[in-house]
Structures are given as C-alpha cells and as structure tokens.
C-alpha cells in the first residue's frame, strides 16, 4: 500500500452465517439457479433406459470448482432437484439418481484441492467410485453375462475418469484451472470435466443398471455414444467455464474460500 | 445539535485484489435527522463508504480495514450484517437488481420475513411504508409492471419497512428518467423533512443535491476532501472542477460571470437564488442579449436515413409510434429527447431493423430496410445500446472489437488492420488484451464504440449513453460522439441529460406519446420550456436563467449554457455595483 492508514487495523471476518463452507449463500443460490435453468435443455437421449439428460451435466464440475466441495454439492444438488421438478423431460428414468449425480460431481470437483486443507478427501471418494464401478461392471459380467471386452469398452469413460482422479492428473488439472494462462484454464476445464462427468456418469449409471439390467446389445451400441456424449459435456464445461472464470477474475468479485479457480 | 447517528473514525479500506486504499483515513459524523449528500467522481469511494455502514464492507468483500465505523452505537465489524440491516436501509443505483419478489407486497415482506418479524407486524408495516413512498393501492402488482421511478420507490419502501435509523441511497436516480428522478427526490425529501429520517445519499444530481441536502461531503480518490453546506461546497467551482464534478448550472453561471468581470459577490447554488441575483444584477448594470449567436451548419443533399409515416404496434397491442416522418442528413448531430415511453428507442430500433414497421417505411440510402439484412445494415449504422455491458461478451478488448468483422468473413489482415485502427481511434490500444469488464464503465462504452467503428458505419446511434455515468464519464462518451461527428459521421443521441448536450448537438427531436412534438435547432428547442415540460423534461438551469432575463426586459435571450449567460451578464456590466 502506498498510503499508510492512521486508523488501527481490524480483524476482518464474516459475522453471522451468510456463507456455506466459505462460499457466500448468494453464490450458492446463483449457481443452483444456473444448474436448474440448464436442466431445461435436453442434451442427449438415454439409450439404455429411455428419457433424456440435461445440459446442466456439463457444469456440475464447474460448480464444485467455484464453490468448493460442500457448497458445490449443495448448489449442484438443489439446482438439479429443482430442475428435475420443473423440467421432468430431462429427469431420466430415476430422477433421484440424477440429483445424486449432480451432488457427487460437484463434491468430487470441489475435492480437487491444491492446498493442505482436505487434501485426503479424494481417497474415500475414489474408494466409493471403485466400489460403484465394481458393482456396475461386475454385475454386467458376472450376473448378466456381458463380455469383459464389451464391458470395459463401454465403461471406458468411467474407468478412465477414476484413473485420472486417482493419479496426480487430478491436481494437475486443478493447477491449470487455477493458473493465469487462459489456454491452460480451458484445457484444465475440458479434461477436468471429462474426469468429473465420467465419475458422475458412473454414479448414476450403476444405479440405473441395477434397475434396468440392459442387455449386451445395448452395451455394444453405447460404446461410441458414451464418450461422444462426454466430449460434449467437456465442451460445455470448457466454454462456459472459461467465460465464467475469466469474467470472475476480471471483475474481482469475492472468491469463495474453497474455490480453485 | 442532534447527537451523531453515524461515527466514522479514521476509516481506511482496501479491497482484496486492489493494490491501493479505496478509502483513506475518512472521518465523518452524520447527525440524527440530517440529509448528508455524498459527492465525488467515479472511483472516489462513495459506494464503498455506503457499503461500510451496513457492514457489507468488509464483512462480505473481505480485504483490509482500518479504523472504526459505528451506526447507532454498533461497530460495523463486530455485528452481523443482518443486525446492521435493521439500522441501515440501503437502496442502490439500479432498481432492477434489488427487486426479486412477484408482488409489491411480497417485496416489502421479504426482508421482514428474513428477520422473523411477526406476521401481524408485517401486515401493519406494509401499508405504512407504501403510503410513505406513494405506492399505496399497488400491493398486488408485479414489480416489473412498475415504472423505473416506482421500482426505485419500492426499493426504498422495502428498506423503510425495516424501520432503519439511517437510509443510505447510492445514486438512486442515475438510472431513472426525469419523471422517476423527480418522484424519488420528492419521496426522500418527505422522509427527511416530515419523518425526520436520517439520509446519506450519493448522487451526481448537483441541482437536486443543492436543493435538498443539509450538508455535502466531497470524497475523491478515497480521501474526504471537505464537508460543508451546499452553499459552501457548490460555490467552490474550482474545487469541483479539480475533482471532475459538475456544479449546479446556476452556480457555474455566476462563477463564469464573476470571472468575466461581472459585479457578483457570492455564487448562488439554487435557481430561485440565481434569479433573484439576476434581478439585483440587472438593477446594478444594463444587460442585453448578444447580437450574434452561432448558427448550426446547414446539411443538404439526399438524406441517408428517411422515415415516412412510421407506425409501430408492439405484440401486446401498445401503439408506440403514430405516423412519424423525418429525414436525417449526412453529417448531422441529432439529439432525441422525451419522457420514457415517448417512443425514442422504438424509433431508433427501426433504423437498425431491430424492429420492423407495422405501417410506413424506413429507408437507408434510399433502400427500404425491410429488404436489407441485419448484417448489411450493421455495416451502415452502428447502434450503441443503453447499457454497453449488454453488448460485451469477448474475453479481451481486441476480441470484442474484431468479433463482427471476423464473423462477416473479412480477410484476417483486414480484420487486424481495422481492429488496430478502431482501438487507436478510441485510445484503447494499451488495453487490447484486458478483459472488457475489468475496465471502467466509460472505457467499456468506448470498447463498444470501437467495435462498431470497426464496421465503418456512416451513422452511429447512442441510446442513452449518459445514463448511469458520472459527469466525467458522460462527457467522455459524448466527446467520443463529437470525435465521430468531426470524422464526418452522422450521430444520433438519445438522452435525458439536456444540460450536457448544447456543446454537441445541432438539431433536437422532441418526442412525446409516439409522435415528434418538435423538430428544431437546439437553440430553439431548449427554449420551448412548456413543450419540454409536457414530456416531463426540464430545460437546463442556464436556459431558465436566460428566460428569466427575457421576462425581465421582454427581449429574447436564446442562450444555452452557463458560459453564454455569464458572457451576457459580464458584457453588460461595467463594475457599477455588486450582486449576491
């Protein structure tokens, strides 16, 4: 500071509770509203179980990166819940699973921390994802007789995401999103969205599969479709995310305590 | 003397990402029942000071805070914002951003519900505050059905319902049309003078602040420069100019007159005082209208923009234009004025085909706009919308300026050349890689103009470019319009701020209820005071002073600016006496 203040410096803190886990409630409300609004836009059909899923899937991870794991999960979950109620055409065959997918995506994204705080949250989350994967693919192979090759090819998005989440790539993407280079921010958002959307897809799909048990023919059909859909989620996340993060940085709005951008 | 309600003691503050202090050692008291006006250029720290009083600064924004601020005895750092909100009601610039409920009644109840005020108490307070802001009978209306002035009064009512000790208003009229501005000032004056409400109001409306405020505090670059009565502050024209502030025109008039040698002892700051001072001055020395006044240049030839019998009906059945006809000639600078709903924006949106006529015809270079494409029209006519931020979406200034060219498939080298040319014309070459939203509002408007300029249009339309700008920001944008005019462009400007326009505009279209009430040179149009009042506009104080001179001796004083009136006063004065 070029000028020296005459007054005594005071400790600055938020008195009262207008924040959730360091994220102002207004941010949580706004991002929940964004998720709810994007829930109106049908993004692709669900081949295996019918219905469609929404464009909001591309921004669940962004919500976590902006708000952190707790506030992000709340915003993503509330936004998707409102979306399910107001836009049932994108709710899918099991609406509750869709809300769960939003919560887990924002939570996992928010847990991509760069500092010391919550640096181990990725471990229990990874264990959860591995269990989900085993329940999903294991049931397909051992109960419903889907070929191993087909099952692995079909679940490429899911297992590649778990691997990326468990490796240091998780932190690398977070560092890119946190960096000043806009190109790397976009790349981090793109790859980060691949990873988080793949995990979210697994968390929803393993529930749907236990309900619908779709046959091997459907697994084969979905092999090229699922990665294509995930690429579109990545595009949505990267395009919207870059604009939002660059804009937030430019206008200097208060940064939530757990944000990684 | 009443005890102080607000005590600000050596307060300094720095936002988290800002390298400099936004407030620096500010010490100020606001007494109970006082109306304190807060003035200062953009970036002075006015909004920050307002937000300090309800704890939003620093509790919400974080940053570094020095000193102490107390409101009704509560330290703003030690008490939650919700507790401070019960003592400090806040109303901000844009009413649209403050309203979130689906009825007027619910809007007022919202904050009370959050403070767990009992239902019976809420039902008692709502009619009281609606009556105080003259919105009674509108309980069930949707806030979006209200006019701008009504919306801002609703925001004031919502703040009043908390029964605050202090009402903080941060430029509450800068987004409003003249009618809305009058309504809001009338309500604030009533609250202060009849109910004894303590008011802190930041505003650029110098004439109104001189009229209503008890005391003025001048803030600049975070420093409290001075405080004093409106007479003390607004009479210091040099001080105001130093800080890029606009004095009331009556004060400027007598200041310039004194500088030019007229026998003026003190500078009046209110119109009535100015008129009395003119009468005194006239007794002391003869005053005569100038023999010659500058004439607007003649513009001939085929008009590039022509409107014939234009009628437009909105889908909801509202007839916004009734048979409007006009020609705009090459190189003209045209000012369009009129109250909200007069049809100004509807008219200019037809020029760029954002609307198509229900009846009648609009031609550009002799071609019916219905046969032209939007992109084709954009090459000929640029449109700067009211809020430049709504036209900005690029991540950098350079990207914003080159966007349209790139999308119209211009060769890359031509895109680059025109982008550089436009950035240089608007003085933006040094911020080419900056995010447009990181720039001050005046510069953001320049970015939009640069993007339009890159298309090399012959006609450029500015739709209320001065709304929400301080004096310097407004002049900045209007100087850009003059620069374009001097480059040979045809310029059309819509604004409510008549006092800004005499040094720019040549011709004035006065609109009312969807028709053109008057189409005349500015010197003639500004003196049609009754006609202007019929569309809720008031001539600038300099024009009113000139008319007062005319009423005194029966001669016509077709003067427009404080400098012109002052020249007239000084011209007749030979040091025969002194007027106050």
Q: How do the pLDDT tens digits run along chain A, 261 residues long?
A: 557 899 999 988 766 656 888 888 889 999 999 999 999 888 766 665 556 678 899 999 999 999 999 999 999 999 999 999 998 888 888 899 999 999 999 999 999 999 888 999 999 999 999 999 999 999 999 999 999 999 999 999 999 999 999 999 999 999 999 998 999 999 999 999 999 999 999 999 999 999 999 999 999 999 999 999 999 999 999 999 999 998 888 766 678 889 998
End-to-end CA distance of chain A: 25
* Residues β-bridged to residue B76: none
Q: What CA–CA distance (Å, rounded) separates A70 from A103? A: 9
Say how many residues make up chain B.
580
Q: What CA–CA distance (Å, rounded) separates A177 from A114? A: 11
Nearest-10 crossing angle of helices A122-138, A95-110 = 140
Q: DSSP of B308-361, one letter per residue?
A: EEEEEE-TTS-EEEEEEEEEE-TT-EEEEE--TTSSHHHHHHHHTTSS--SEEE
A11 shares contact with chain B (CB less than 8 Å): yes
Distance from CA of A240 to the nearest CA of B (A): 12
* DSSP state letter for B117: -
Contact present, A79 and A98 (Cβ < 8 Å): no
Q: What are phi and psi of A55, to 5 degrees?
A: -65, -25
Using a CB-CB cut-off of 8 Å, the residues of chain A touching B22 are none
Contact present, B39 and B209 (Cβ < 8 Å): yes
What per-residue confidence (pLDDT) applies to B580? Answer: 39
Residue in chain B closest to A239 (alpha carbons) equals B395
Mutation to test the B interface, candidates A2, A7, A19, most B Cβ within 10 Å: A7
Over 60: is that where the pLDDT of B576 sits? no
Can you tell me the mean pLDDT for B187-204? 89
**Is the alpha carbon torsion for A134, A135, A140, A144 positive or negative?**
positive
- Tokens representing B19 are 């390298």
Mutation to test the B interface, candidates A10, A25, A242, A244, most B Cβ within 10 Å: A10
Say how many residues make up chain A.
261
Q: Does domain A21-251 have CATH number 1.10.1760.20?
A: yes
A115 shares contact with chain B (CB less than 8 Å): no
Across the interface, whether the CB atoms of A2 and B9 are under 8 A apart is answered: no
* C-alpha count within 13 angstroms, C-beta hemisphere, residue A164: 23
Q: What CA–CA distance (Å, rounded) separates B146 from B341? A: 13
Nearest-10 crossing angle of helices A169-178, A156-166 = 80
Strand order of the β-sheet with B88-91 is B88-91, B166-170, B198-202, B35-39, B215-220, B223-228
Residue A76: which of A86, A87, A65 has the closest Cα? A65
Using a CB-CB cut-off of 8 Å, the residues of chain B touching A3 are 12, 20-21, 24
Residue B423: which of B399, B395, B391, B388 has the closest Cα? B399
Distance from CA of B65 to the nearest CA of A (A): 6
What per-residue confidence (pLDDT) applies to A50? Answer: 57
Residue B211: which of B193, B236, B225, B237 has the closest Cα? B193
Residue in chain A closest to B396 (alpha carbons) equals A246
What per-residue confidence (pLDDT) applies to B18? Answer: 76
Q: What is the ipTM of this complex?
A: 0.74
Cis? peptide before A99, omega within 30° of 0? no
* Residues β-bridged to residue B422: none
| Number of Cβ pairs < 8 A linking chain A and chain B | 94
What per-residue confidence (pLDDT) applies to B579? Answer: 40
Residue A5: which of B570, B94, B11 has the closest Cα? B11
Q: Point out the residue among B12, B18, B60 whose CB comes nearest to the CB of A24.
A: B60
pLDDT tens digits for B112-165? 998 889 999 999 999 988 988 888 888 999 988 887 778 888 998 998 888 899
Q: H helices of B381-440, where? A: 397-407, 412-425
Residue in chain B closest to A16 (alpha carbons) equals B80
* Residues β-bridged to residue B224: B219
Residue B560: which of B474, B477, B500 has the closest Cα? B500
Using a CB-CB cut-off of 8 Å, the residues of chain B touching A243 are 395
A180 shares contact with chain B (CB less than 8 Å): no
What per-residue confidence (pLDDT) applies to B293? Answer: 82
Distance from CA of B69 to the nearest CA of A (A): 11
Mutation to test the B interface, candidates A2, A4, A5, most B Cβ within 10 Å: A5
Instruction: Give me the residue spans of the domains in chain A.
Output: 21-251
Can you tell me the mean pLDDT for B205-213? 93
A2 shares contact with chain B (CB less than 8 Å): yes
Over 80: is that where the pLDDT of B204 sits? yes
What per-residue confidence (pLDDT) applies to B378? Answer: 85
For chain B, give the mean pLDDT: 89
A16 shares contact with chain B (CB less than 8 Å): yes
Q: What CA–CA distance (Å, rounded) separates B41 from B32? A: 26
What per-residue confidence (pLDDT) applies to B273? Answer: 96
* Residues β-bridged to residue B493: B335, B462
A241 shares contact with chain B (CB less than 8 Å): no
Across the interface, whether the CB atoms of A5 and B17 are under 8 A apart is answered: no
What per-residue confidence (pLDDT) applies to B168? Answer: 95
Residues of chain B with a CB closer than 8 angstroms to some CB in chain A: 9-12, 14-21, 24-25, 55, 58-68, 77-83, 395, 434-438
What per-residue confidence (pLDDT) applies to B572? Answer: 58
Q: What CA–CA distance (Å, rounded) separates A221 from A5? A: 69
| Integer CA distances (angstroms), B184 to B196, B234, B255, B422, in order | 17, 22, 30, 40
Q: What CA–CA distance (Å, rounded) separates B248 from B230? A: 10
Contact present, A48 and A212 (Cβ < 8 Å): yes
Can you tell me the mean pLDDT for B301-325? 93
CB contacts under 8 A, A 34-63 vs B, are none
A252 shares contact with chain B (CB less than 8 Å): yes
Mutation to test the A interface, candidates B80, B220, B434, B440, most A Cβ within 10 Å: B80
pLDDT tens digits for B318-377? 899 999 999 999 999 999 998 877 899 899 999 999 999 999 999 999 999 999 998 888
Distance from CA of A132 to the nearest CA of B (A): 40
Contact present, B301 and B329 (Cβ < 8 Å): yes
* DSSP state letter for B574: -
Q: Which structural domains are found in chain B, ordered by start?
A: 4-247 (3.40.50.300), 261-293+541-572 (no CATH), 305-525 (3.40.50.300)
* Residues β-bridged to residue B89: B167
């Amino acid at each position: 500071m070029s000028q020296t203040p005459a007054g005594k410096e005071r400790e600055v803190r938020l008195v009262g509770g207008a924040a959730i886990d360091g994220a102002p409630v207004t941010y949580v409300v706004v991002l929940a509203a964004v998720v709810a609004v994007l829930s109106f836009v049908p993004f692709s059909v669900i081949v295996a179980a019918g219905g469609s899923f929404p464009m909001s899937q591309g921004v669940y991870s962004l919500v976590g990166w902006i708000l952190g794991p707790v506030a992000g999960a709340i915003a993503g979950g509330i936004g998707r819940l409102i979306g399910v109620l107001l836009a049932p055409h994108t709710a899918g065959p099991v609406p509750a699973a869709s809300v769960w997918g939003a919560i887990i995506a924002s939570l996992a994204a928010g847990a991509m921390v760069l500092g010391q705080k919550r640096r181990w949250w990725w471990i229990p989350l990874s264990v959860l994802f591995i269990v989900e994967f085993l329940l999903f693919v294991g049931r397909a192979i051992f109960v419903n007789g889907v070929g191993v090759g087909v099952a692995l090819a079909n679940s490429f998005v899911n297992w590649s995401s778990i691997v990326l989440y468990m490796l240091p790539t998780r932190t690398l993407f977070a560092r890119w999103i946190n960096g000043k280079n806009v190109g790397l921010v976009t790349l981090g958002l793109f790859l980060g969205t691949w990873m988080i959307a793949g995990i979210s897809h697994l968390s929803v799909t393993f529930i749907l599969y236990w309900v619908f048990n779709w046959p091997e023919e459907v697994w084969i059909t979905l092999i090229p479709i699922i990665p294509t859909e995930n690429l579109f989620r990545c595009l949505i996340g990267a395009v919207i995310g870059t604009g939002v993060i660059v804009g937030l940085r430019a206008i200097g709005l208060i940064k939530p305590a757990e944000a990684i951008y | 003397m009443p005890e102080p309600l607000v005590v600000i003691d050596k307060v300094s503050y720095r936002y988290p990402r800002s390298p400099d202090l936004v407030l620096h050692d500010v010490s100020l008291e606001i007494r109970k029942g006082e109306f304190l006006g807060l003035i200062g250029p953009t970036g002075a720290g006015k909004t920050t000071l307002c937000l300090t009083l309800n704890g939003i600064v620093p509790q919400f924004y974080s940053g570094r805070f020095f000193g102490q601020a107390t409101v009704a005895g509560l330290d703003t750092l030690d008490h939650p914002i919700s507790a401070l909100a019960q003592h400090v009601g806040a109303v901000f610039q844009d009413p649209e951003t403050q309203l979130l409920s689906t009825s007027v009644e619910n809007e007022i109840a919202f904050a009370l519900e959050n403070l767990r005020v009992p239902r019976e108490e809420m039902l008692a307070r709502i009619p009281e505050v609606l009556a105080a802001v003259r919105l009674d009978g509108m309980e069930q209306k949707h806030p979006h059905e209200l006019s701008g002035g009504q919306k801002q009064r609703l925001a004031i009512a919502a703040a009043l319902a908390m029964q605050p000790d202090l009402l903080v208003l941060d430029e509450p009229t800068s987004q409003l049309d003249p009618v809305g501005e009058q309504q809001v000032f009338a309500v604030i004056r009533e609250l202060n003078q009849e109910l004894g409400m303590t008011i802190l109001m930041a505003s650029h409306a110098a004439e109104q602040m001189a009229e209503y405020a008890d005391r003025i505090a001048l803030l600049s670059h975070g420093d409290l420069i001075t405080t004093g009565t409106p007479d003390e502050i607004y009479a210091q024209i040099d001080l105001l100019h130093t800080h890029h502030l606009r004095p009331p025109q009556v004060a400027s008039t007598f200041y310039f007159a004194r500088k030019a040698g007229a026998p003026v002892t003190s500078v009046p700051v209110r119109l009535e005082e100015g008129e009395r001072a003119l009468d005194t001055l006239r007794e002391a020395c003869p005053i005569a209208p100038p023999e010659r006044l500058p004439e607007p240049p003649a513009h001939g030839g085929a008009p590039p923009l022509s409107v014939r019998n234009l009628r437009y009906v909105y889908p909801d059945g509202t007839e916004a234009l009734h048979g409007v006809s006009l020609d705009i000639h090459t190189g003209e600078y045209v000012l369009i004025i009129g109250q909200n709903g007069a049809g100004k924006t509807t008219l200019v949106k037809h020029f760029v085909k954002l609307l198509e006529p229900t009846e009648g015809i609009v031609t550009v270079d002799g071609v019916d706009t219905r046969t032209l494409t939007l992109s084709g029209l954009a090459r000929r006519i640029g449109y700067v919308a009211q809020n430049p931020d709504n036209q900005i979406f690029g991540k950098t200034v350079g990207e914003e300026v080159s966007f349209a060219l790139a999308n119209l498939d211009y060769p890359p080298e031509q895109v680059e050349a025109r982008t550089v040319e436009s950035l240089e014309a608007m003085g933006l070459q040094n911020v080419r890689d900056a995010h447009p939203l990181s720039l001050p509002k005046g510069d953001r408007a320049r970015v939009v103009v640069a993007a339009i300029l890159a298309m090399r249009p012959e006609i450029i339309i500015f739709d209320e470019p001065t709304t929400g700008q301080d004096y310097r920001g407004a002049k900045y944008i209007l100087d850009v319009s003059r620069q374009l005019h001097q480059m040979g462009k045809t310029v059309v400007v819509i604004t409510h701020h008549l006092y800004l326009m005499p040094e720019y505009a040549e011709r004035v279209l006065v609109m009312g209820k969807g028709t053109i009430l008057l189409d005349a040179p500015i010197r003639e149009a500004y003196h049609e005071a009754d006609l202007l009042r019929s569309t809720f506009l008031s001539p600038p104080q300099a024009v009113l002073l000139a008319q007062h001179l005319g009423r005194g001796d029966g001669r016509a004083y077709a003067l427009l600016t404080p400098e012109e009136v002052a020249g007239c006063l000084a011209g007749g004065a030979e040091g025969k006496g002194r007027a106050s």
